[in-house]
Amino acid sequence: MNIFRFLADLSHMASIVILILQIRKTKSAAGVSYKTQFLYALVFVTRYIDIFFHYVSLYNTFMKIFFVTSTIYILYLMRVQYKPSHDPNIDTFRIEYIIAPSAVLALIINHGYTLYEILWSFSVWLESGAILPQLFMLQRTGEAETLTVHYIFALGIYRLLYIPNWIYRYVTEGRVEPIAFLASLIQTALYSDFFYIYYTKVMQGKKFELP
């Protein structure tokens, strides 16, 4: 494991921890998109189904369990514990527009026509668009809690760092993963606007407000 991948996984973990702490501390899930969290839960469940038959390492297994359980815990916090704080009226992105194209892409572009490979490909495409409801919600409200902004930033950094990881692995191991590489490029592009505003506002101590 190289440094890019390790830091990527850490920032991915950090993003989830930030989100859980925010919801618990403020006893509110205001500003957090339930739809995005639901899509991530779907991403993890469809991708990590291999936990039962494909052992990689203790690290890998531990992280898979962490991502699945922590995301389902967020769904629980939003749906049960702090339900009144979440306003579905501003979380209006149609998730069919992400799920359907991901399913089509998974059927066309995959590593083989087995249930496992199709689900894996589906999860990769789905992940590339899963942040859209959250970004859409941010655009509707125009501003966000600092922690929500840090959450999205940490998530963007995670995806960005996987790109140098794949370049590094291509150079040192000759390993190629075109599906994940392409999906990650798309995903990082979706964050570019957000990164720009984060840099120009949040980095200078200002409130996150859209122009």
Partner 1 sequence: SGDKADHDEL
Number of amino acids touching partner 1 (CB under 8 A)? 23
56 binds partner 1 (CB under 8 A): yes
**Of 209, 195, 123, 118, residue with least CA distance to 158:** 195
- Give the nearer residue to partner 1 in terms of CB position, either 50 or 145: 50
Residue 79 gets which letter from DSSP?
Answer: I
Minimum distance, C-beta of residue 176 to partner 1, in the bound complex (Å): 5
159 binds partner 1 (CB under 8 A): no
Find the binding residues for partner 1 in span 77-106 (CB under 8 A): none
CA distances 165 to 84, 104, 112, 179, Å, are 41, 27, 24, 14
Three-class DSSP category at 143: strand
120 binds partner 1 (CB under 8 A): yes
Q: Which amino acid is at 19?
A: L
Q: Which of 52, 89, 172, 173 binds partner 1 (CB under 8 A)?
A: 173
Distance (Å, whole) CA 207 – CA 117: 43
Q: Which of 142, 175, 189, 207 binds partner 1 (CB under 8 A)?
A: 175
**Of 108, 120, 3, 107, residue with least CA distance to 51:** 120
CA distances 172 to 136, 158, 204, Å, are 39, 21, 38
> Binding string to partner 1 for residues 11 to 30, with x set by CB under 8 A, is what?
-x------------------
* Sites of contact with partner 1 (CB under 8 A): 5, 9, 12, 47, 50, 54, 56, 60, 63-64, 67, 111-112, 117, 120, 162, 165, 173-177, 180
